[in-house]
Amino acid sequence: MELIFATHNPNKLKEVQQMMPKSIKLLSLEDVQLFDEIPETAATIKENAILKTDYIKARFDMPVFADDTGLIVPALDGNPGVRSARYAGEHKDSEDNMDLLLKNLTGDKDRSAYFLTVISLFMDGQQFIFEGRCNGMILHQRQGEKGFGYDPIFQPDGYQKSFAQMDMNQKSIISHRGKALKKLISHLNGIKIV
């Protein structure tokens, strides 16, 4: 079965491909020759995931899923949240985003945080939603070279290292995206693949 994953992000694609069963062929937006920048203008993470899925399903007659992820920091009123990828501006630079977040958390602020991923799947004329959450804290400085986004400054609860210090297998077991993907894969496995 072929399934479009609505992403241009090669890191995210690699992370997701690693978890997918071999019976599912994942197609990126590049694979289907769609180079549009899909608008992410919704007010919530869930609505953004649905927005992306709707954008693709209007252009292709194939099953499609999209995800949206936000880093929620209660001490910063839930920011960066739905604007996580563009926290420091529209240019979407992870280094700038991390710099701004660390600056905004200077002092004695509560450093607890969590990642939330919402996956929207459109298949056989139906919409399905899967969520995953990972609780943790924001570190005082970057640690590790792996991963992407906020991974170098996020330490999941119960671990003494950042996401950027974990290999992909370990991260995918405990991460927000990993948890949401497991729910998606479980749903797909329940569907007869012809």
Active site amino acids: 68
Q: Is 180 exposed, middle or buried (0-12, 13-18, 19+ CB in 10 A)?
A: buried
- The alpha helices in 20-135, defined as continuous H runs, are 45-57, 94-104
> What are the tokens at 82?
């739905």
Buried b (16+ CB within 10 A) or exposed e, 75-99: bbeebbbbebbebbeeeeebeebbe
Measured over the CA atoms of residue 118, residue 112, residue 14 and residue 184, the dihedral's sign is negative
